Every structure is written in structure tokens, then in C-alpha cells.
Chains A and B, each alone.
Chain A
Amino acid sequence: MTPTISNCFEVSGEDFSRAGEASGKIKTILKQLGYDKDAIRRVAIAMYEAEINMVIHAGGGKAMVDIHPDRVDIVMADQGPGIPDVEKAMEEGFTTAPDRIRDLGFGAGMGLPNIKKYADSLSIETQVNVGTTLYITVRATQQYI
């Protein structure tokens, strides 16, 4: 049986300086396992965008990552306000981030579209006032020397 590596991280709310911690750790683990560099990059960017989203919109949440031999499954779950119109949120440039966040250079409305761009599959479960869960999968293989 091929093993799966599971990791779970708390993503803290409102603290931009710590966003990226979870994706950074996963990046290191994937390098240690020897996954191909393109997959590592796509996992890192998709996760980072999701982390930032959680900080901006949801006051933090949880990142659960399962590393399989052929893919990386990422679940990003928060108990934030939810996304009222998922289709709109998927449009490039659409944002509900408040001005003070956009002044910091975040919340440009590229989060979800970017995740979709880098992931092999993305599905969103969301309910207003309950929270949002993203299921992200990135296909990956080990790159032999």
C-alpha cells in the first residue's frame, strides 16, 4: 500500500504576515518527497491564494493537505461569511475586499480565478453565514533525477 502524507494547519485570521506559512511548509515537504517542480509551484500558488482569501474574508480557517503519489488534495475550510454568488467570485477582477485591504495590494479579485488556473480541479462548497470550503486537487508525480 502506498502511503499518504496528511497535514493539517490552522490559518490565522487577519494576520497577513503569517499567510503563506502552510503553503510554505507543504512546498518544503513536496521538495523533500521529490515531486516535479511544476506541481510544487502550482500547489504553492493555489494554496497561498486560498490562505490569503481566508485571511481577508473569513478570519482564518483550516488547511488540510493530503499528499498522494499521483496528486495533492487540498481542503481549505473556513467559517466565514460564505460566497453569495460563486460564479461572480470566479470572474477575474471581481472583489468584495474592503478598500483598506486592497490598499495593501491584496484582494484584487484574482484569488479564486488564480486557484482555478493552477489547480487541476477546484470545487467550492459555500453557504452564506456558515462558511466556505474549497476542494483543490493538483496532479503531481515524482520527478526522477
Chain B
Amino acid sequence: MSEFFHSVTLDAEKCRGCTNCLRRCPTQAIRVRDGKARILSEKCLDCGECIRVCPYHAKKAVFDSMDRMQEFDYTIALPAPTLYGQFNNLRNVDYVLTGLLQLGFDKVYEVSKSAEIISETTRRLMETGNLARPVISSACPAVVRLIRVRFPNLCHLVLPLVSPMHAAAKAAKVEAAAQTGLPLQRIGAFFITPCPAKVTDIRSPVGPDQSWVDGAFAISDIYPRLLEKMNRVEIPEPVADSGALGVSWASSGGESTALLREKYLAADGIENVIAVLENLDTEQVGELEFIELNACSGGCVGGVLTVANPFVAKARLHRLRNHLPPASIHPESNAASMRWENPLEYTRVMQLSDNLTEAMTMMQEIDRLCALLPGLDCGSCGAPTCRTHAEDIVKGNALLNDCLFILREQAEAAGINLSGLYHRTPEETEKPL
């Protein structure tokens, strides 16, 4: 069941069933049942929107504890370029990388370096590889999952290359095995992640058969420890090996810039991403070569597991780039080794039934129920909209009178008068009884 691993989960004790997350989830994957939110596994993208909006911090992201480093003889840190934007006045990436080494990693391998290699490979593939246009970036796993469940006609446009995180893990582990003579299983590669979607992409990747990454540490978790180490670094070790192009992947538009092409579009924030995909789906975007989409607003700098304000982080990265070479120098990359093993396939999580007659009968019933429901999308039934409530009823997962308005009508029809409860004026209610 690895397909349904999720890094976004719920702490039922903290959840008050307030419906904030219910309304914000882009795939309507949340229901409130018995006063607690529940995530419908097959629809969840792990985008982290619900973590962002939960006022009680009941939604959490699963990530690894740094203790997991002890499971390996040799450990590699794979810092997302987003990490560099978390620090004020950073002019030299080596401070961050040296700090990571002092936290106990044996080696650091910059994900931004792999980003540069992926950019170059993408450039070459776009020139020679017969990729359908426009190519849609596959770097944000939440977006890839969104396309998989909602956009059957766009799946074939998604760039079939692993994301820089996977590529970095592979390159770093192969390199380390050669240097140390250790077998690959004894070498652990840990991604320093800005978001839960990447954690899911490690445990249950969509394109590649399996990931070379062994675990993920949240930027927010590692940050205080790393900062402490960094503050004590006097002369950093010269380990940085990537340039401005790779580092710019951390914010929206960066990946497009690194492609050195003009006809691109970059959109960020899950609602904007959905709007662009809808436009693309009905061929309204005009001629484009590349589309970069990030579920978080601002790009990965807006990930829920970061600490810095995304706009501040973006500005810092912009400055940092002035102190970096344009790009790292690396040997000719091997496109074949970065290719996805599995093409992206539409997953029919929205479909009502495999049998058309049955699906149509269900749809008619949904329409009939929608006409009965008040159409307020208030969420008090536990579903995000009246229509989803009707769908839940038809699928046997909810009852019509979970709707408070219907319940009231039924109560009144049965001669139970509730009007005393809800027609009181505030003053009356406040009077001590």
C-alpha cells in the first residue's frame, strides 16, 4: 500500500473540527467526521495547505528524526537550495555546508548542483527528445500528484525526469561508495526538506521505481542546531559546488530561468497552479515551451517546513546569487539515468463507479440531493461543499441529515420545535437563565 503513504497527518487530539482545513484543501480531500478532520488518502497531494491554515496545529508533517543517521556507516546531507535562503546575510554557501558537516554528516552534496544538471538535461531533451509541448516541470511532487488525479489530458506533458533531490542522492551515494568502498546500503542520504510533499516523494515516488534518498529532515527542525554550528564556523571548508542557476530553483521562476529559454510560464500557489492547468487543458495559453508550477506560493521558499518568510528568503537568495558562479562545471550528464521508469498515469480518484450506468445513476442522485441542500457550502455537515456532501451520501459515506438545515427541517416536521434555540436575540441568549 505504499501508494497511499502520506507525510501530512492529523493529530486527532488537537483537532477541534473547525473546518478551516476542509475549505482550503485543493482536492476536497478532507472531511470532518465525529468532530475530527479526516484526510481521504487517495485524494491528498501532501501539499501542506491544511498544515498552513490549521489554527490548532493539528495537521502535521511526518519527517525523520536526526537519530536515523545512526543507522548508517556513512551519511550524506542533501540540502535543498531553499535552505540557503533561511539565513540572514549569507554570502558564502560554505558556512551552511560546513555547519551540516559539523552536525555529523560525512559529506554534503548540494541539490542545487543536481538542479543544474537536470536543467541542462532538460534543455538537451527539449532540443532533441521529441518532448510534447509545453513541457510541464516535474520538480514539485504536489503538482505532479495534482495532475495525476485531475488532469488526464496533461499527464503526457510532464517532464519524465527525476527531480534534483533524487538525482543528487544517486550521484552522491555512487560517489561515496567509490570513495569509501562501502556498500550502498551502508550509506545514508538525507534530504533537508522544505515540505511534506518531498517526504512523500521519497517514500512513495510517482515516476521513478524507487528513491535513492533514505530519509528527510525538515528545514525547520534542523535550523536551530545548524545555526548554532554555523555561528561557530570560523573558516568554512570549501565544499560548495553549484552556481546561481541551481540555487535559483528555490523560488518560482528559477527553474525556467535555468533553462535559458524564453517562452515559459511560471506559476506558484496551488490555486494559481490549478487555474493555469485548467487553461492549459482547454488550450488557452498560447504558444509556450515550458511551464514551471510550484504548489507553494513563491516556490519552495514558501514550503511549510521552512522558517523564513518566503519573500524575505527570495530576496536573500537573489543577493546570494551575486556571490556565486553562474553554474557549476560538471561532466556531460546522462539523460537516460535520470529518466522516470514509469510514465505518469491518470489515477481515477474522482470517478464515481467503474460501471457507466451505475455512475450515471449516482450522478442523477447527486443532482437530486443538491437541489434539496441549501447550497451554502457552510461545511457544517463535514464536507467542504453541498455538492461533495451529496456525493458522500450517494457513496454511502454520509447521511442527508448531517446537514444541519435538513436536520432542522426534519425536526420541525416531526413536531420538535427548535425555533426557541435559534431565533433568540443575542441579548436573550446572554441573559443568565
Decide if B278 is an interface residue (CB 8 Å cutoff): yes
Q: Which of A2, A41, A69, A145 is in CB contact (< 8 Å) with B348? A: A145
Decide if B178 is an interface residue (CB 8 Å cutoff): no
Decide if B102 is an interface residue (CB 8 Å cutoff): no
Decide if A57 is an interface residue (CB 8 Å cutoff): no
**Residue in A33, A44, A67, A144 whose Cβ sees the most chain B Cβ within 10 Å:** A33
Contacts of A29 in B (CB 8 A): 363
Decide if B157 is an interface residue (CB 8 Å cutoff): no
CB <8 Å contact, B152 and A69? no
CB <8 Å contact, B153 and A41? yes
Q: Which residue of A lies closest to B391 (CB)?
A: A32
CB <8 Å contact, A41 and B354? no
CB <8 Å contact, A48 and B282? yes
Q: Knowing A5-B367, A37-B346 touch, does A45 contact B283 (C-beta < 8 A)?
A: yes
Q: Which of A20, A37, A38, A69 is in CB contact (< 8 Å) with B356? A: A69
Decide if A34 is an interface residue (CB 8 Å cutoff): yes
Residues facing B in A101-145 (CB within 8 A) are 105, 142, 144-145
CB <8 Å contact, B352 and A2? no
CB <8 Å contact, A44 and B282? yes
Mark interface residues in A56-67 (1 if CB within 8 Å of B CB, else 0): 000000000001
Decide if A23 is an interface residue (CB 8 Å cutoff): yes
Contacts of B352 in A (CB 8 A): 32-34
CB <8 Å contact, A20 and B363? no
Residues facing A in B314-367 (CB within 8 A) are 346, 348, 350-354, 356-357, 359-361, 363-364, 367
Q: Knowing A23-B282, A31-B152 touch, does A2 contact B351 (C-beta < 8 A)?
A: no
Contacts of B150 in A (CB 8 A): 31
Decide if A24 is an interface residue (CB 8 Å cutoff): yes
Interface size on A, residues (CB 8 A): 27
Contacts of B353 in A (CB 8 A): 34
CB <8 Å contact, A69 and B282? no
CA–CA, A105 to B287, complex, Å? Answer: 13
Q: Which of B153, B283, B359 is in CB contact (< 8 Å) with A37? A: B153
Q: Which residue of B lies closest to A49 (CB)?
A: B282
Mark interface residues in B153-193 (1 if CB within 8 Å of A CB, else 0): 10000000000000000000000000000000000000000
CB <8 Å contact, B359 and A41? no
CB <8 Å contact, A5 and B363? yes
Contacts of B237 in A (CB 8 A): none
CB <8 Å contact, B348 and A5? no
CB <8 Å contact, A69 and B278? no
Interface size on B, residues (CB 8 A): 24
Residues facing B in A27-79 (CB within 8 A) are 27-29, 31-34, 37-38, 40-41, 44-45, 48, 67, 69
Q: Which of A20, A34, A48 is in CB contact (< 8 Å) with B359? A: A34
CA–CA, A29 to B278, complex, Å? Answer: 15
Q: Knowing A45-B283, A145-B348 touch, does A40 contact B152 (C-beta < 8 A)?
A: yes
Contacts of B354 in A (CB 8 A): 34, 144-145
CB <8 Å contact, A3 and B153? no
Contacts of B351 in A (CB 8 A): 31-34
Q: Which residue of B lies closest to A23 (CB)?
A: B282
CB <8 Å contact, A34 and B283? no
Q: Which residue of B lies closest to A25 (CB)?
A: B387
Mark interface residues in B127-153 (1 if CB within 8 Å of A CB, else 0): 000000000000000000000001011
* Chain B nearest Cβ from A144, distance in angstroms: 7
CB <8 Å contact, A48 and B284? yes
CB <8 Å contact, A2 and B281? no
CA–CA, A69 to B352, complex, Å? Answer: 15
CA–CA, A142 to B361, complex, Å? Answer: 14
* Chain A nearest Cβ from B292, distance in angstroms: 22
CB <8 Å contact, B281 and A44? yes
Q: Which residue of B lies closest to A48 (CB)?
A: B282
CB <8 Å contact, A67 and B281? no
Contacts of B350 in A (CB 8 A): 28, 31-32
Q: Which of B152, B282, B359 is in CB contact (< 8 Å) with A32? A: B359
* Chain A nearest Cβ from B387, distance in angstroms: 10
CB <8 Å contact, A27 and B360? no
Contacts of B153 in A (CB 8 A): 37-38, 40-41
Residues of A that sit less than 8 Å from B by CB: 2-5, 20, 23-24, 27-29, 31-34, 37-38, 40-41, 44-45, 48, 67, 69, 105, 142, 144-145
16 residue pairs from A and B, CB less than 8 Å apart: A3-B361, A5-B363, A24-B278, A29-B363, A33-B356, A33-B359, A33-B363, A34-B351, A34-B353, A34-B359, A40-B152, A41-B281, A44-B281, A45-B283, A48-B282, A69-B356
19 extra interface residue pairs, beta carbon distance < 8 Å, beyond A2-B356, A37-B152, A38-B153: A3-B361, A24-B278, A27-B281, A29-B363, A31-B350, A31-B351, A33-B359, A33-B360, A34-B353, A34-B356, A34-B359, A40-B152, A44-B282, A48-B284, A69-B356, A105-B286, A142-B359, A144-B354, A145-B354
The 6 closest A-B pairs by CB, nearest first: A37-B152, A142-B356, A34-B351, A3-B360, A48-B282, A41-B153
